Chain A
C-alpha cells in the first residue's frame, strides 16, 4: 500500500525526464506509465479491504490554515488508481508515433497522469483540489498543440468549463470551511464541520460542490465540453480525457460532495438522478445522428457517464458499487474506442467522417482494428462477458431500489446504446449500407498495418474489460468494503428516499 504515493511522484519525475529526453521521450513515458501501473498493482496485491480510508502519508502542509498533505486510499481509490495506470500505459502505446515535440507531449501527458493519481489518493480537500487543478492545465496544451479539428476552440472550452467547475468547488469548500468552523481541510474534519451547518446551508454548498465536480463528469446539460474536447484532442489525450479525467469529476462527487453534505444531497437527489438519466438518453440520441466518428464515441462517453452519475445519485450500495465499476469499465472501453477511431483509423485514413469510411472496406484493410472495435462496441453496449454488463446491471439494480422509474428510463438507454453502436460498427468497418457503392468496386486500400504497440495496447485493454466482466468480484471485493466507511454510510443513509 505504501507504494501508492509513488505513483504520483514517479509520474511527475517521468514528466521532467521526458522533457529532457527529447526524441526518446516515448520510452521514458512508457517506462513511467508501466512503473505507475506496476506500483498500483503491487499495492492492490497487498491491499486488505477495510472500511474507511487507509492513510498513506499525512504531514502538515500549510500549518496556519490547517491544510495537510494527506494521502489515503480505500477500495474505490484503488480501483481508479489501477484504472489510471492501465489507461496511462495504453495511452502511451497508442501515441508511440507522436513525433512533433515528443518531449513536451509526453511531459504534459505524464504531468496529467500525476495529477490524476493525486486526486484519487487525496484525503484532504485542499490537496485534492490542488491535484485537480494540476490535471487541468496539461489538458489544455495537449489539445491546443497536438489536437486536430477545431483544437483551439475545443481546448479553450474544456479548460473554461473545468475552471468554472473548480471555482464552484472551491467556493463551496471555503464556504463550508468557514460556516462550519472547521480547523482544517481533511475530508473527515470538513464533514464534521459541515454537519454543524443548517440544512439550507448544506443544500446550497452541496449544489456548488456537486455541480463543480459534475461538470467534469459530463452531467447533462453541462456536458458539451466533453464531445468537443474529445474530438479535438490527440488520441492519447482523448483516451485519458474520457478514460480517467471524466472520472475525476465523478470521483469528486462521490468522495467530496456526497459525504460532506448528506442533507444537501438528499434535497438534490431527484434532480440529479433525472439529469443523469436525461444525459444517458440525450447523449445516446445525439450519438445516433453524428457523422464524425469521434463525436459518436464522445457522446457515447457522456451517455455512459450518465450511468455513473445515476449510480451515485441512487446512493445505495449496489448502485454506488456499480457506479465505481462503471467508472473502471468505461475508462477501459472508452480508451479502446478512442484508440481505434483516433489512432488506428484516423491517422491512417485521415478522415473520421462516417460517410467517407462507409466506402472503405476497412474490415479487410484493418482486420485487427475491426475486431477490436467490434469487441469494444459490444462491451460498450453492455454485452455480458465484458465489464459494462455487471456495472450497468448493478447500477440498474440499485436504481430500481431507489425508484423503478429511474431504472425504466435508464434501461431505455441500453436500447439506444445498441442502436448507435451497431450503426457505428456497420458503417465504419463493414462497408456500405448504400447500394450504389458496391464493395468490390471500392478502391483497394493500402493502409499502414497495425503496429505492435497498438496491438499491445488494445490487447491489454480488451483483456481488462473481459476479465472484470467475467469476474467482477476482482474489483467489487475492494469496492464493497469501502462503502462501509462512516462517511459513505452517512451518504447512503441520507440518500435513500
Chain B
C-alpha cells in the first residue's frame, strides 16, 4: 500500500471532517463526536502507513504536490504537500499516539458535560498538527502552526470556569505568538529574498541547492525561524507557558503538551535544517542545553504530578534542540519519536492516577498506589525508566545516547555536553522521586486510599504505549536504521568513540536513580505534611526551584509591567493628550469667536452704530418734522436685521 503526494491532504482532512462533525453534532452527542474522531484518526493512521511505505520505497525522493493559493502579482502564493521519510514517520507517530490518546479520552472525559466539544477540539488539533507535518510550504506550515496554537488554546482553557485554566490558555497563546512573530518575519525575509516559501519545488524550492546557495544573511533567517520553535517548543526563555498549560485535561497534556505540538518546533528545525548556518546552530545548541538543565532542575522541586512531567518535557525538548544545534537532526527526531511515546505514556499514566484519585494531583497527597493500580504502576514505571535512560531495554536510552554522542562530537564547545550529562542525573533523580512519592509507601489522603484501577479503555492504551516505549529501541539498535533512513551521509561517522561516553552516562543514570531512591524510595514519606528531604537539606535552593526560578515573577515585573504601563500611558494620552489638544483647539476657536465678536462690537458695529445713530438722528429730526412712529419701527427692523446677519455669520463659529 502506498500513497501518492497528491492524496496526502487526506491525512489532515479526515480529522478536520471529524472536527466539523463534532461541531455540528447536537449538544451532548458525545459518542458521535468521539466515534467520528477515532474513526477519522484511524483512517489517517492507515493513510500515514501508506505514506511511510511510499517514503521507504524511495527515501531520497522528495515527493511534492504543489498548488497555487492566491496570486499577489509578482509571486503567486503557493502551498503544497510533501512525502519524505521525516513526514511519514511523524505522521505515523502523531496518528498512532493520537489514536491511543483519543481512546483513553473516551474513558477520561466520559463524565464531562462538554465532552462533545472536547473531541471536536481534539480533532481540530490533530488536523492542524498533521497539516504542519505534511506541509511542503513554510506558509502552509505557518497556517497550520497557528491553528495548532488555537486548538491548544481551546483545550488548555477547556475548563475555563477555572480562572487558572483561562489564564493559562491566554498565556500559552500570547507567549507562543511572540515566538510566532519571529517565525513570520523569517518567512517574510525568505519570501523576499528567495521568492518562494515552498520547500521542494523541482529545483526551485527553499531546501534545494540552487536556492540555498543564493540565500544571503541566512544566520538571521535561521534564528528568526528558531524564534517560532522557541515559542512552540517551550525553550528558554519562552518556556513559562508550558507548565501552566497543564491546567488542561490530562489527555490534552499528553497529546499536545508532551507528544506532538511542543515537538513541532523541533520538527520545524529538522525540516529547515539546511537553512541553518553554523552560527545559528550554535545559538540553538546553547539554548537547548540551558533549557534541558533548567527544566530538569525545576522538575526536582515540583509537587504537582503533571507539573513535574511538564518541566521534564521542557527539559527533554531542550535535549532535542541541543541535538539540532550540534548538527544531528536525526538524533533530535529519534528522541522526538521515543519521547512522544514514553511521555504520552507517563501523562496518560498520570491521568489514570488523577482519574482514580478524584483529581488529586499533588504527589504529597498520593502514595501507595502500587497495589490498587497495578497496570498503571507497571506501565508508568516503564515510562519512567525510558525517560530516565535506563540502559539497553528502553528506547529513551538509545535516543538520549544518540544526542549525547552527537554533542560530544561537536567541535564548537563541550559545555553543552556537561549540561546534558548533568541533566541526565537530574532526570533519573526526579523521576525516581515522582514514582516513589506517587506509588510507594502508604496512601496519604482519602482519595489516594480509595483509588482503584482505571477501566480497560484507559489501561489498554497505556500497555500499548509501554510496549512502544521499549520496542522503539529497534530504530537504533542493533542497526542504526533511522539514521540510515533519514540521513545516510552522516551515518558513517556515528558511534566512533561510543563506549566510554555510554559507560559514563550509564553511571550517571545509576547515580540519579540511587540518589532518588536513597532520599525518597528507601523510606517513603509518611504524612503529606512532612517536609521534603531535599527541602530539608537545601531549603533555599529548593524554594527557588519550587518557585520555578522566579521566571514568571521576573517577566511580570519587567515585560508585564512595562506593557501595562505603556497601555495605561497610551490610554491616558488618548483621553487627555489628544482629546485635550482637540478640546484646546475647540476652546481656541471659541476664543477666536469671542475676539471676533468683541472686534465686531467695538470696531465694525461701532461704525454701523454710528451710521444708525446718524440715521436715527435724521429720523428723529424727520419724526420731529413729521408725525407717526412707522419710520422708527422700520429703523429698528433694519438695525435688527443687521445684527441678525452678523449673529448668523459669526455666531456659527461659536
Contact A397 to B181, CB < 8 A, known contacts A282-B570, A418-B173, A431-B161: no
Number of A-B contacts (CB under 8 A): 122
Q: Given the complex of chains A and B, what is the CA–CA distance between A434 and B73 in angstroms?
A: 50
Interface centre among B70, B566, B570 (most CB of A within 10 A): B70
What's the minimum C-beta distance from A125 to chain B, rounded to whole angstroms?
Answer: 27
Contact A418 to B70, CB < 8 A, known contacts A224-B579, A289-B564, A397-B191: no
Contact A400 to B574, CB < 8 A, known contacts A415-B174, A483-B73: no
B181 & A415 in contact (Cβ 8 Å cutoff)? yes
Contact A224 to B582, CB < 8 A, known contacts A433-B166, A477-B71: yes
B578 & A426 in contact (Cβ 8 Å cutoff)? no
Q: List 8 A-B contacts (CB under 8 A).
A: A224-B578, A289-B571, A385-B143, A393-B139, A397-B191, A414-B181, A433-B163, A473-B70
Could you mark each residue 31-60 of chain B with 1 if its beta carbon is under 8 Å from any beta carbon of chain A, else 0? 000000000000000000000000000000
Q: Which residues of A contact B166 (CB under 8 A)?
A: 426, 430, 433
Contact A407 to B185, CB < 8 A, known contacts A285-B567, A285-B570, A390-B70: yes
B150 & A383 in contact (Cβ 8 Å cutoff)? yes
What's the minimum C-beta distance from B27 to chain A, rounded to whole angstroms?
Answer: 9
Could you mark each residue 378-418 of chain A with 1 if its beta carbon is under 8 Å from any beta carbon of chain B, else 0? 10000111000110011011001100100110011011001
User: Which of B192, B564, B571, B582 has a CB less than 8 Å from the CB of A290?
Assistant: B571
Q: Given the complex of chains A and B, what is the CA–CA distance between A290 and B574 in angstroms?
A: 12
User: Which of A223, A400, A407, A418 has a CB less than 8 Å from the CB of B174?
Assistant: A418
User: Which of B74, B173, B567, B582 has a CB less than 8 Å from the CB of A422?
Assistant: B173
Q: Given the complex of chains A and B, what is the CA–CA distance between A400 and B166 in angstroms?
A: 35
Q: Given the complex of chains A and B, what is the CA–CA distance between A471 and B189 in angstroms?
A: 24
B562-615 contacts to A (CB < 8 Å): 563-564, 566-568, 570-571, 574, 578-579, 582, 586
B189 & A404 in contact (Cβ 8 Å cutoff)? yes
CB-CB nearest in chain A for B145: A384
Main secondary structure of the interface of B (DSSP, over half): helix
Q: Given the complex of chains A and B, what is the CA–CA distance between A175 and B184 in angstroms?
A: 44
Contact A414 to B582, CB < 8 A, known contacts A378-B150, A430-B166: no
B172-195 contacts to A (CB < 8 Å): 173-174, 177-178, 181, 184-185, 188-189, 191-192
B74 & A383 in contact (Cβ 8 Å cutoff)? no
Q: Which 4 pairs, one residue from A and one from B, show the smallest C-beta to C-beta distance?
A: A384-B143, A317-B73, A400-B188, A472-B70
B181 & A412 in contact (Cβ 8 Å cutoff)? yes
Main secondary structure of the interface of A (DSSP, over half): helix
Besides A400-B192, A426-B157, 16 other A-B contacts (C-beta < 8 A): A227-B574, A318-B72, A384-B144, A389-B143, A390-B70, A404-B188, A404-B189, A411-B185, A414-B181, A418-B173, A419-B174, A426-B166, A432-B163, A472-B69, A476-B71, A480-B71
B487 at the interface (CB under 8 A from A): no
What's the minimum C-beta distance from B119 to chain A, rounded to whole angstroms?
Answer: 17
B170 at the interface (CB under 8 A from A): yes
Q: Given the complex of chains A and B, what is the CA–CA distance between A151 and B491 in angstroms?
A: 74
Q: Which residues of A contact B517 (CB under 8 A)?
A: none
Q: Which residues of A contact B178 (CB under 8 A)?
A: 415
A289-348 contacts to B (CB < 8 Å): 289-290, 317-318, 321
Q: Which residues of A contact B169 (CB under 8 A)?
A: 422
Contact A288 to B567, CB < 8 A, known contacts A157-B582, A384-B147: yes
A17 at the interface (CB under 8 A from B): no
What's the minimum C-beta distance from B579 to chain A, rounded to whole angstroms?
Answer: 5
Could you mark each residue 64-101 of chain B with 1 if its beta carbon is under 8 Å from any beta carbon of chain A, else 0? 00000111111000000000000000000000000000
Q: Given the complex of chains A and B, what is the CA–CA distance between A414 and B184 in angstroms?
A: 10
Q: Which residues of B contact A160 (CB under 8 A)?
A: 586
Q: Given the complex of chains A and B, what is the CA–CA distance between A426 and B72 in angstroms?
A: 36
B170 & A422 in contact (Cβ 8 Å cutoff)? yes
CB-CB nearest in chain A for B140: A384
User: Which of B74, B161, B582 has a CB less than 8 Å from the CB of A439?
Assistant: B161
A383 & B174 in contact (Cβ 8 Å cutoff)? no
Q: Given the complex of chains A and B, what is the CA–CA distance between A400 and B197 in angstroms?
A: 15
What's the minimum C-beta distance from B550 to chain A, rounded to whole angstroms?
Answer: 23
User: Which of A227, A407, A414, A430 has a CB less than 8 Å from the CB of B177?
Assistant: A414
User: Which of A285, A321, A408 has a CB less than 8 Å from the CB of B185?
Assistant: A408
Q: Given the complex of chains A and B, what is the CA–CA distance between A317 and B73 in angstroms?
A: 7
B362 at the interface (CB under 8 A from A): no
Q: Given the complex of chains A and B, what is the CA–CA distance between A223 and B575 in angstroms?
A: 12
What's the minimum C-beta distance from A251 to chain B, rounded to whole angstroms?
Answer: 20
A345-400 contacts to B (CB < 8 Å): 378, 383-385, 389-390, 393-394, 396-397, 400
CB-CB nearest in chain B for A398: B72
A438-497 contacts to B (CB < 8 Å): 439, 471-473, 476-477, 480, 483
User: Which of A318, A426, A431, A435 has a CB less than 8 Å from the CB of B74?
Assistant: A318
Q: Which residues of B contact A414 (CB under 8 A)?
A: 177, 181, 184
Q: Which residues of B contact A20 (CB under 8 A)?
A: none
B160 at the interface (CB under 8 A from A): yes
What's the minimum C-beta distance from A441 to chain B, rounded to whole angstroms?
Answer: 11
What's the minimum C-beta distance from A15 to chain B, rounded to whole angstroms?
Answer: 27
User: Which of B71, B147, B582 has a CB less than 8 Å from the CB of A473?
Assistant: B71
What's the minimum C-beta distance from B654 to chain A, rounded to whole angstroms?
Answer: 13
Q: Which residues of A contact B185 (CB under 8 A)?
A: 400, 404, 407-408, 411
A407 & B188 in contact (Cβ 8 Å cutoff)? yes
